[in-house]
Amino acid sequence: MLVAIDAFPDSMIFKYENVTADDAPKIVYDMLFPRGPEGAKHTKVFINGSNFEMVEKVVEATQKAMKSAPWGNSIIVDPRGGYSTAAAAVAKTFGALMEKGLGTLEDKKVTVLAGTGPVGQTAARIYAAEKADVTITSRTLAKGQVIADKINAEVGTQRVKVVEVTKPEQTAEAIKDAEIILSAGAGGIQLLSKDDLSKAPKAKIVADINAIKPVGVEDLGSNDDSLELKPGVYGIGALAIGKLKIKTETEMIKRATTEPQGLFDYAIAYTIAKDAILKKLAKAAAK
């Protein structure tokens, strides 16, 4: 919401709270019909929220309502900034690989710590779509398996698996084969210690979305941007990811305002973030 206000400070924003899938069609119809197609085209729908399952249901109901109306509109989806954060995090790890001459994400082994959270499961989905082999960690194996199965079905592969991590000592097992490690946990919780990282001999890129101390990865600075944590291992901190996240979300909102209709979600966010990384790499190569 704040990013939308910053992007369009002169716009008028109406906020609806506790919206369910049953509420969504009423809001859509109230938005579209009273003002006609010319008036409605200046209004966009931004779906936020912290409950991923509810967000998905609201998005589905909103799209269905749009299709049943004579004209539709653009829908922006970024629950608690999770989609744009995940897109930026994956894009930054991709950029670090390319910058260090380590190739693309395809067939890379990735572990997403706290992989059932909003950012974690979205990042896992993007990594899998990029043909990486992904391990997500979960405190509950059953919950993690549901998410892994869902992502595999959506992507059309079997690239995502889940491991249970309920004790710190289980983290080392989860990352032992990982080339990329993304810590996607909540603020103020360390998920990866120096000792854990020492037990991941194949690790090349380590990233963290948590800027609240203690950060998710021990000794990783929030502003670190492909900084060498130890020989051959490069770290990306939360604020380095955050800069790209803000640019990504802002661009996603701006694009939605110029399009008459369409869904602007994590896939669009990743396209924007990855394009920004590719342009940066091309600019650096041209110097």
Does a structural domain hold residue 51? yes
End-to-end CA distance of the chain: 38
108/227 same-domain check: yes
Q: What is the CATH number of the domain that holds 150?
A: 3.40.50.720
Using pLDDT thresholds of 50, 70 and 90, give the confidence band for residue 227.
very high
- Arithmetic mean of pLDDT, 173-184: 98
Using DSSP, state whether 231 is helix, strand or coil.
coil
Same domain for 137 and 114, yes or no, is yes
Contact 236, 225 (CB under 8 A): yes
Same domain, 232 and 140: yes
pLDDT surpassing 70 at residue 110: yes
| Judgement on whether residues 116 and 237 belong to the same structural domain of the protein | yes
Are residues 117 and 235 located together in one domain of the fold?
yes
pLDDT tens digit sequence for 205-223: 999 999 999 999 999 999 9
Backbone angle region of 203, left / alpha / beta, with phi > 0 → left and psi within -120 to 50 → alpha? beta
Task: Determine, yes or no, domain membership for 95.
Answer: no
Flag whether pLDDT at 14 surpasses 90: no
Asked if residue 163 lies in contact with residue 137, where contact means CB atoms within 8 angstroms, the answer is yes
Q: What is the mean pLDDT of residues 67-88?
A: 92
Top mean-pLDDT range of 43-47, 234-238, 261-265: 234-238
Domain membership of residue 231 (yes or no) is: yes
Same domain, 255 and 223: no
Number of domains in the chain: 2
Instruction: Give pLDDT, residue 162.
Output: 98
For residue 260, the model assigns a pLDDT of 85
Average pLDDT over residues 67-96: 94
**pLDDT digit string, tens, across residues 244-259:** 999 999 999 999 988 8
What is the CATH number for 29? 3.40.50.10280
Mean model confidence pLDDT for the chain: 94
pTM (2 d.p.): 0.94
- The widest CA-to-CA distance across the chain, in whole angstroms, is 62
Phi, psi (degrees; rounded to nearest 5) at 193: -90, 165
What does the pLDDT average to over 228-240?
A: 97
pLDDT at 272: 98
Pick the residue with more confidence: 255 or 50?
255
What is the predicted pLDDT for the residue at 61?
A: 97
Residue 262 burial (C-beta neighbours within 10 Å; 0-12, 13-18, 19+): middle
Do residue 113 and residue 204 come from a single domain?
Answer: yes
**Mean pLDDT value of segment 171-183:** 97
pLDDT tops 70 at residue 83: yes
Asked, for residue 91, whether it belongs to a domain, the answer is: no
Long-range contacts of 142-149 (CB under 8 A, 24+ apart): 143/116, 144/115, 144/116, 147/115, 147/116, 147/121, 148/124
pLDDT at position 7, please?
Answer: 65
Residue 6 pLDDT: 67
Q: What was the pLDDT predicted at 86?
A: 98
Least confident of 4-13, 43-52, 65-74: 4-13
Tell me the residue range of the domain where 33 lies: 2-81+244-282
Residue type, 275: D
214 and 123 in one domain? yes
Does 89 fall in a domain? Answer: no
Q: Verify that 132 and 191 share a domain, yes or no.
A: yes
26 and 158 belong to one structural domain = no
256 located within any domain: yes
In percent, the amount of the chain with pLDDT more than 90 equals: 82
Above 70 in pLDDT, residue 224?
Answer: yes
How confident is the model over 170-197, as a mean pLDDT? 96
Q: Is the pLDDT of residue 9 over 80?
A: no
Question: Does 129 lie in the same domain as 222?
Answer: yes
Same domain, 32 and 161: no
At 2 the pLDDT is 64
* 105 in a structural domain: yes
**In this structure, is the dihedral angle defined by the CA atoms of residues 76, 77, 78 and 80, taken in order, positive or negative?**
positive
Q: For residue 264, is pLDDT > 90? A: yes
Residues 217 and 31: their CA atoms lie apart, in Å, by: 45
